Structure 1
Amino acid sequence: MRLPDFEAWAMFACVVEHRSFSAAAASIGVSKATVSKAVARLEVSLGTTLFHRTSRRLALTDAGQSLSERAARILAEAQGAEEQARDAAAAPTGLVRVAVPMSFGLAHVAPAIADFLAAHPGVEIDLTLSDAKVDIVADGIDVALRIADLPDSSLRARRLAPVAIRIVAAPAYWEKRGRPTHPADLGHHACFVYTNLPNAIWHFRQGAEEVAVRPAGPLATNNGEAMLPALRAGLGVARLPDFLVDADIAAGRLEPVLEAWTGAGVALHLLTPPGTLRPARVEALIEFLSERFRRLCQPR
């Protein structure tokens, strides 16, 4: 039986992660020639080209793209196996790449990361804040948080907490335009649109009745927090998670409506790439964030 060239697979994964033979070599601590030879060896073994190489650009071929996730998984499994085999009492060390939504990340994840780093001085965090959907495998992300009605995928997902979604506007807006008594009434209101959703439709449910509303209005943005100034100014209606609007509701700046209607099953999820073995530093962060956020958001 001919064994797989695990070293070549690992070096291929590093090149994909760093988008460069030179950067991959530096991260591993070997020469660029060693990495180049390993990838070439893998290409010969597979009978296909993995990269398009020019003097200015390095890009994956279709075959390289399809194999990159498996290569990343092989590398992660090996790293996880090595770390699990080490002394269990050893403190976690190394880099963890984390991707989180912008507003939730600033308000809640950044303080949590500060506490985690204080408790684990050997760990480094590369934190990406973006409301855009991140490909955690292709981008080399170890841990991601998403607030969504999560579809099926090959990613490992842990549901941490439900997130209440509320329909809000300024009291002055409701006084001027009238308070809706049914979700269908929102079709006649100035509704702000969250552009990161692939299908900008608001879904509602009450008992056996289900209603879908397509919002339209004067503001479209890829960040929910960016809607708040226009909301407070009485310019429209938004559908936002409670952690963004609770303070404004408590202060009387915003007023919720249609509270008897529930939306889609939105929740805070923690996602990791496929695979069962993870480095100790990643496991430590997963457990820390899971415990921190499990009861953060409660249904109303």
Structure 2
Amino acid sequence: MLKLEGISSFVAIKEAGSMSAAARRLHVSKSVVSERLSDLEKSLGAALFHRTTRKLNLTEDGAAFLERAQRIMQEVHEAAAELAERRGTLVGPMRLSAPVTFGRMHLGPALCPFLAQHPGISLTLELDDKRVDAAAEGFDAVVRHGVVEDSRLVAWPLAPSQRYVVASKAYLRQHGTPRALNQLAAHKAIYYSNRGVTDWAFLDAKGQDFVRPKAVLRANNGDIMKQACLAGLGLALLPSFIAGPEIAAGSLQVVDVGRKVPPELIYMAHPDGRKVSAKLRALAEHLKAAFGQPPYWEAAANTARPKAKAK
């Protein structure tokens, strides 16, 4: 007879990438995960993984079993959650992915009161600046900044987001303050490496113009970008949820080149075709209220932004 814990361990190993990572996710020892997998393989009469010293790869039988195993675990979690929801409570596991800096500065603090209000929820939050495959990697949802690039995801807007060209006072004193778009090319820039070459886009009546100042640093993390900008290394295009406190304090200044950067979104996205749990909907509504409309970080940044000149 197949045991649910064995199926759960098999799915966790595939999604987490190793037995050790699966054990951490399931809150058991590595030996327990290994034993459960062995019992499952004996029950099925088939090996599910090719075992090597470096990693585990699915066998042909394992690949065939995986989709059904994931579906079984999803159905079990949804059934348990649905019964709890019928009793008016939100319970069960939930797994989210979010960017590192946004997670540290805003998502983490917003999650704490939600979890305190719903103690039956067991949340796993994984912070990573790279884009993850929500469905393949077993996430209930991802929280992201920007535009939705994956057509397999259904997105719920949480808050608007605006980015600004910013620089330290020291950098502007040394290199001058650009006042027009064509002056940006003479400056140095700090780039977010997870975005493409068309990242620095500026709006006008005809559409968008793209400017690429010389790169002094490329980084895949907003905290590093902000530190480099504060150190006077160059201009940076940062969202107000990262640079808002420094803009308000005056340690970073907004550089107005006469064009706006296209607005973006903070959004939560879940895999298309999957039944959405009440706890995920409740979390989305909680985050919207916690961030505010407009979001509190935008209000902080606006207190120190230069006022538009009268024409």
TM-score, reference length from structure 1: 0.78
SS at match of 1:238: strand
* CA displacement at 1:190 relative to structure 2: 0.8
Match of 2:97 among 96, 99, 121: 99
Match of 2:163 in 1: 165
Residues 218-227 or 196-205, more deviating: 196-205
Match of 1:179 among 163, 177, 180: 177
Query: For 1:182 and 1:61, how far apart are their aligned partners in 2?
Result: 59
* CA displacement at 1:229 relative to structure 2: 3.1
Query: For 2:63 and 2:292, how far apart are their aligned partners in 1?
Result: 35
Match of 1:256 among 254, 257, 273: 254
Query: For 1:32 and 1:61, how far apart are their aligned partners in 2?
Result: 14
SS at match of 1:217: strand
Residues 53-62 or 217-226, more deviating: 53-62
Query: Is the CA contact (8 Å cut-off) linking 2:181 and 2:257 kept in structure 1?
Result: no
Match of 2:240 in 1: 242
* CA displacement at 1:154 relative to structure 2: 0.4
Query: Is the CA contact (8 Å cut-off) linking 1:69 and 1:137 kept in structure 2?
Result: no
Match of 1:35 in 2: 40
* CA displacement at 1:192 relative to structure 2: 0.6
Q: Assess, with a 3 A threshold, how the Cα gap between structure 1 residues 86 and 233 changes in structure 2: closer, same or farther.
A: closer
- For 1:36, give the aligned amino acid: E
* CA displacement at 1:86 relative to structure 2: 4.8
Q: Assess, with a 3 A threshold, how the Cα gap between structure 1 residues 287 and 116 changes in structure 2: closer, same or farther.
A: same
Match of 1:223 in 2: 221
Residues 228-237 or 115-124, more deviating: 228-237
TM-score, reference length from structure 2: 0.76
1:26-45 Cα shifts (integer Å, max 9, x gaps): 7999954552256x47x7xx
* CA displacement at 1:110 relative to structure 2: 1.1
Query: For 1:292 and 1:147, how far apart are their aligned partners in 2?
Result: 16
* CA displacement at 1:114 relative to structure 2: 1.1
Q: Assess, with a 3 A threshold, how the Cα gap between structure 1 residues 232 and 85 changes in structure 2: closer, same or farther.
A: closer
- For 2:286, give the aligned amino acid: F
Q: Report the identity percentage.
A: 33
* CA displacement at 1:164 relative to structure 2: 0.4
With a CA cutoff of 8 Å and minimum separation of 6, indicate the structure with the bigger relative contact order.
1
Q: Number of matched residues?
A: 289
